[in-house]
Every structure is written in C-alpha cells, then in structure tokens.
Amino acid sequence: MFARTNRKELGETLDALHELVAGLLSLRQNGLKPEIGARDFERYNDQIKGYAHSVVRKVANRDL
C-alpha cells in the first residue's frame, strides 16, 4: 500500500508541520513571532525512530 511513498518528502512535510505547530504554540504562550526554517529536527526525528525501534523490538522480539 505504501510502496510508492516518498519517505523523504513525507518526513519533510511532517517536519514542516511540527515546526508550524511549535511556532504557533510559542506565539500563543510567549507572544514570540514564529521563526519558520530556524529549527533542526534531525535529533528529534532520531529520537522518534529510536522509540519506534524499541517498540518493535519489544513487541516482535527483533529489529526492524
């Protein structure tokens, strides 16, 4: 079903949405103007991948 999914494009889209949400929350909570394109999500994405790998290891008792 997802064989033709462009993972890089999907990841970039999710990063952009994450940045938008973070900027809007900052605007709402702190009154700070959102800075789009100023964040690096590589560490955050690696952390999420680590969580996913951990869950798969625990559930399937094997690595991805």
pLDDT > 60? residue 64: no
Say if 48 falls within a structural domain.
Answer: yes
Asked whether the beta carbons of 11 and 45 are under 8 A apart, the reply is yes
Domain that includes residue 40, residue range: 7-60
| End-to-end CA gap in the chain | 18
The pTM score is: 0.55
CA distance 41 to 30: 21
Domain count within the chain? 1
CA distance 54 to 61: 10
Say if 2 falls within a structural domain.
Answer: no
Residue-wise pLDDT for 8-43, tens only, equals: 888 888 888 888 888 888 888 888 776 777 777 788
Q: What is the DSSP string of 4-20?
A: T--HHHHHHHHHHHHHH
Query: What pLDDT, on the 0 to 100 scale, is given for residue 49?
Result: 84
